[in-house]
Structure 1
Amino acid sequence: MPRVSTPPPEPLDPSASGITSGIPRGLLILVGTAAGFITLLGIRAMNDVIASTFLALILVIAVQPVRDWAIARGLPGWIGSVGAAIAVYAILLGLAFALLLSGAKFATLLADYQPQFNDVIHEVNSWLLSLGVGEDQIKAITSSFDPGQLVDIVVSLLGGLAGVLSSMFFLIVLIFFMIIDAANFPAKLAQIPGQRSTVMQAAHSFAQGTRSYLVVSTVFGAIVAVFDIGLLYVLGIPDPLLWGLLAFITNYIPNVGFIIGLVPPAVIGLLDGGVGTALAVIIGYSVLNAIIQSVIQPRVVGQSVGLSGTVTFLSLIVWAGVLGGLGALLAVPLTLLVKALLIDVDEQSRWLAPLLSGEPAQPKQDPPPTAV
Structure 2
Amino acid sequence: MDRTARLAHWSVIFGASFLFILVLYLSRPVTLPLAFGLFLMAIVWPVQERLDRHFPRWVGFLASVLLLVLAFGGFFGLLALGVILIGDGIAAYRYELDRAYFSVLAWAAANGFPVNVPNVEEMDIGPMVGMAASALDRVNASIGLIGLTFIYILLGLLEVRDFGNKLRSLQTGDLILDAIQKISHKFRRYIVVRTFVSLLTGLLTYLFALVLGLEFALTWGLIAFVLNYIPFLGSILAVIPPVVFATVQFDGWMMPLLVLLGTSTIQIVLGNYVDPRLEGRALALSPLVVVISIFFWGMIWGVAGAFIGVPATIAILTICDQFEQTRWLARLAGSRIPGKARTQY
Which structure 2 residues correspond to residues 247-326 of structure 1 after superposition, within 5 A? Answer: 247-274=224-251, 275-326=253-304
Task: Name the residue aligned to 1:145.
Answer: none
Task: Name the residue aligned to 2:41.
Answer: 60
Letter of the aligned partner of 1:83 in structure 2? Answer: A
Alpha-carbon distance between aligned partners in 1 of 2:168 and 2:86, rounded to the nearest angstrom: 51
Matched, 1:35 2:24: no
Shift of 1:105: 5.2
Which shifted more, 56-65 or 273-282?
Answer: 273-282
Structure 1 residues 183 and 99, CA, compared in 2 at 3 Å: closer, same or farther? farther
Alpha-carbon distance between aligned partners in 1 of 2:99 and 2:332, rounded to the nearest angstrom: 53
Alpha-carbon distance between aligned partners in 2 of 1:164 and 1:297, rounded to the nearest angstrom: 26
* Match 1:139 to one of 99, 106, 115: 115
* Match 1:209 to one of 156, 169, 186: 186
- The one-character-per-residue Cα deviations of 1:227-267 (angstroms, maximum 9, x if unpaired) are 22233344444544343333223222334532222222222
Alpha-carbon distance between aligned partners in 1 of 2:219 and 2:137, rounded to the nearest angstrom: 17
Shift of 1:205: 2.4
Shift of 1:180: 1.7
Letter of the aligned partner of 2:204 in structure 1? Answer: F
Letter of the aligned partner of 2:18 in structure 1? Answer: A
Alpha-carbon distance between aligned partners in 2 of 1:303 and 1:216, rounded to the nearest angstrom: 10
Letter of the aligned partner of 1:206 in structure 2? Answer: I
Alpha-carbon distance between aligned partners in 1 of 2:300 and 2:323, rounded to the nearest angstrom: 25
> Percent sequence identity over matched residues?
23
Contact 1:125 1:138 in 2 (8 A): no
* Match 1:198 to one of 172, 175, 180: 175
- The one-character-per-residue Cα deviations of 1:246-296 (angstroms, maximum 9, x if unpaired) are 322322233453222222222222233353443333233233334433333
What TM-score comes out, normalization by structure 2 length?
Answer: 0.78
* Match 1:188 to one of 166, 178, 190: 166
Shift of 1:102: 3.9
Structure 1 residues 173 and 273, CA, compared in 2 at 3 Å: closer, same or farther? same
Contact 1:321 1:327 in 2 (8 A): yes
Structure 1 residues 362 and 281, CA, compared in 2 at 3 Å: closer, same or farther? farther
Alpha-carbon distance between aligned partners in 1 of 2:290 and 2:277, rounded to the nearest angstrom: 11
Task: Name the residue aligned to 2:198.
Answer: 221
Structure 1 residues 104 and 328, CA, compared in 2 at 3 Å: closer, same or farther? farther
Alpha-carbon distance between aligned partners in 2 of 1:233 and 1:357, rounded to the nearest angstrom: 40
- The one-character-per-residue Cα deviations of 1:114-134 (angstroms, maximum 9, x if unpaired) are 5434433555567679xxx84
Structure 1 residues 348 and 81, CA, compared in 2 at 3 Å: closer, same or farther? same
* Match 2:62 to one of 68, 79, 82: 82
Contact 1:221 1:247 in 2 (8 A): yes
Aligned residues: 333
Shift of 1:202: 2.3
Task: Name the residue aligned to 2:121.
Answer: none
Shift of 1:76: 3.9
Q: Unaligned stretches of 5+ in structure 2?
A: 119-125
CA RMSD in angstroms comes to: 3.9
Structure 1 residues 125 and 165, CA, compared in 2 at 3 Å: closer, same or farther? closer
Shift of 1:192: 2.2
Structure 1 residues 162 and 329, CA, compared in 2 at 3 Å: closer, same or farther? farther
Which structure 2 residues correspond to residues 83-232 of structure 1 after superposition, within 5 A? Answer: 83-103=63-83, 106=86, 109-110=89-90, 113=93, 115-121=95-101, 123-124=103-104, 134-135=111-112, 137=113, 139=115, 163-165=141-143, 169-193=147-171, 195-232=172-209
Alpha-carbon distance between aligned partners in 2 of 1:100 and 1:178, rounded to the nearest angstrom: 29
- The one-character-per-residue Cα deviations of 1:304-340 (angstroms, maximum 9, x if unpaired) are 2233233222222232233222222222112223334
Which shifted more, 160-169 or 265-274?
Answer: 160-169
Contact 1:254 1:312 in 2 (8 A): no
Letter of the aligned partner of 2:194 in structure 1? Answer: S
Alpha-carbon distance between aligned partners in 2 of 1:99 and 1:162, rounded to the nearest angstrom: 17
Contact 2:102 2:117 in 1 (8 A): no
- The one-character-per-residue Cα deviations of 1:127-168 (angstroms, maximum 9, x if unpaired) are 679xxx842x263899xxxxx999x99x98998588424665
Letter of the aligned partner of 1:35 in structure 2? Answer: L
Which shifted more, 101-110 or 261-270?
Answer: 101-110
